[in-house]
Chain A
């Protein structure tokens, strides 16, 4: 099956620093990648949709200048949390969809990155 990796799996940083999270599709090309955030006992919330070679589409309420997304190739998307604060501490998960897109195409999820901002 398709594999999506994320790096790092866990990061602890000081308030005010920036953190970059990588999402890679290992054995398929992903024209579209999605970034989610999940707080404890809450559902996954879509933050943004990332398409290779174009600007990401952010969901309402997600600051695009704080959460920078770059989808530079068909196998790599990065999320940078700039000037992180404790309230940004969360579980960040990416997912990727193989092409061509169809209604029942499965999204493959990465293992997630647990961010803790002190």
Chain B
């Protein structure tokens, strides 16, 4: 089983739609969780951290379910500029706090 699993997609959605991505992780001791956004042939950029209580940033909502070991990202009112690959990132305990990336879920927002 992969450490971090995501559906690679692509998810093709019309502008204005709501779309949700899930990500599961295998290490129950994982400490921190993030969603990164990566545009084609560019470096990843932090979208948002995921807190235990869930958190929202504008049109983006992230949730964490430790019991089921998954995190989710909800995007409301999709914009064309949201088209990108969304990477689920899990950080473990330990001195170096190893970070593991999921394969990413590709989102294409269609006019």
Contacts and interface: CB of A to CB of B under 8 A. Distances in A.
B29 to A, nearest CB: 13
Interface residues of A, number: 24
Interface stretch (A12-20, A63-71, A77-85, A105-113): A105-113
Given A43-B104, A103-B31, A104-B32, A112 B96 contact: no
Contact of B99 (A34, A57, A93, A110): A34
Interface of B (DSSP majority class): loop
Interface in B61-111: 87, 91, 96-104
- Range of interface residues on chain B? 20 to 34
A46 B104 CA distance: 15
Contacts of B102: 43
B44 A109 contact: yes
B42 interface: yes
Contact of B91 (A49, A103, A109, A114): A103
B87 A110 contact: no
A87 B31 CA distance: 34
Interface in B21-69: 31-32, 41-46, 49
A104 B52 CA distance: 12
Contacts of B43: 93, 109-112
9 contacts: A41-B8, A43-B102, A44-B87, A44-B101, A106-B46, A107-B99, A110-B43, A111-B43, A112-B43
Interface of B: 4, 8, 31-32, 41-46, 49, 87, 91, 96-104
Interface of A: 32, 34, 36, 41-46, 49, 51, 57, 91, 93, 101, 103-104, 106-107, 109-112, 114
